[in-house]
Chains A and B, each alone.
Chain A
């Protein structure tokens, strides 16, 4: 099984990541939640997720937790992305395609400025 490219490489990556994490952690606890019900997936949630992950990769953004949730009953607003920054209330975004996801990551997650036009008020 060609499971891991090289264990040595992974060990090195782990050491480096741990060091950097101490130096450059995102302030507070950041959680990005992508809705992954059937409705979300059909509307493009996987592309939204891919976009969030590629933003973390390219911007070398440490300390972000990415998770998923099921259908939250707002299927017509999918793909839905939720952001929790520290102890601030959760912000729910609708119609988050790959581009909007990049914008949310940059403006909201990195600079603390919510992207108003995509927020869902409930």
Chain B
């Protein structure tokens, strides 16, 4: 994986596979504390304590096509390499919360990458899931701005019209991209 945004998509795929109805993806670039935090929170089937430990081991997986599972261990490693940490909280029947924290200025910190492509891909791939996307930026002086997108209103309005109809796609794509690009500019300035 070359981007934090790709890891997020990968973790969100786990959430979708765990029969979640609501999934929230959050990224916070906090320059005042020199941190980059990425979380995925779901209300899927969750895991017991033993399983939650085991998934952090690359030689554990629930899939049947291969006997290694690299998604979570890779993210954990990426966070730890950048002087950060990783946590996974889960409760059977309640859901799971995966969080990776990176030191923002660390030389080995992976780039955040194309967050709007990650959000759009998640939204389109799982139309039955209620998605919430949050991207927050805090500058060195502690001033924050955020882009938050909750798909409930959009889906009510669309009714039975698919998200992949070209006009709808252009609208949603544009909205996510503009919102994120406007904030990303702030991290540069």
Contacts of A34 in B (CB 8 A): 125
CB of A72 within 8 A of CB of B164, answer no
Among listed B20-28, B37-45, B63-71, interface-contacting one: B63-71
One of A13, A41, A73, A75 near B10 (C-beta < 8 A) = A41
Known A-B contacts A53-B120, A68-B126; A61 and B65 likewise in contact (beta carbons under 8 Å): no
Partner of B149, one of A3, A41, A46, A68: A3
Q: Quick one: CB contact mask for B142-181 with A, threshold 8 Å, 1 for yes? A: 0000011110011001110110111111110111000100
Give the docked Cα–Cα distance between A17 and B173 (Å).
16
Asked if B19 lies at the interface with its beta carbon under 8 angstroms from chain A, I say no
- Within 8 Å by CB of A57, from B13, B162, B173, lies B173
**Chain B residues near A57 (CB-CB < 8 A):** 166, 169-170, 173
- Selected contact of A20 from candidates B63, B65, B167, CB within 8 Å: B167
Task: Pick from A53, A68, A75: contact of B164, CB below 8 A.
Answer: A53
Partner of A70 from the list B1, B13, B166 (CB cut-off 8 Å) is B13
Residue of B nearest to A13 (CB): B167
Knowing A2-B147, A66-B124, say if A53 contacts B173 (CB, 8 Å): yes
Q: Does A16 contact B (CB under 8 A)?
A: yes
Chain A minimum-CB-distance residue to B5: A46
Q: Does A11 lie within 8 Å of B65, measured CB to CB?
A: no
Give the residues from 29 to 68 in chain A that come closer than 8 angstroms, CB to CB, to chain B: 34, 36-39, 41-42, 46-47, 49-50, 53, 56-57, 59-62, 64-68
Chain B interface SS verdict (over half): helix
A side interface size, CB within 8 A: 44
CB <8 Å contact, B158 and A75: no
B125 A67 Cβ-Cβ under 8 A: yes
Chain A residues near B164 (CB, 8 Å)?
53, 56, 64-66
User: How many Å lie between the Cα of A71 and that of B118 in the bound state?
Assistant: 18
How far apart sit A70 and B159, CA to CA, in the bound complex (Å)? 27
Q: Is B17 an interface residue (CB 8 A)?
A: yes
| A interface list, Cβ under 8 A from B | 1-5, 7, 9-11, 13-14, 16-18, 20-21, 34, 36-39, 41-42, 46-47, 49-50, 53, 56-57, 59-62, 64-68, 70-73, 75
Q: Which B residues are closer than 8 A to A by beta carbons? A: 1, 6, 9-10, 13, 17, 63, 65-66, 69-71, 74, 114, 117-118, 120-121, 124-126, 147-150, 153-154, 157-159, 161-162, 164-171, 173-175, 179
Q: Can you report 9 A-B residue pairs in the complex whose CB atoms are below 8 A from each other? A: A1-B148, A36-B121, A53-B173, A60-B167, A68-B125, A70-B63, A71-B63, A71-B65, A73-B66
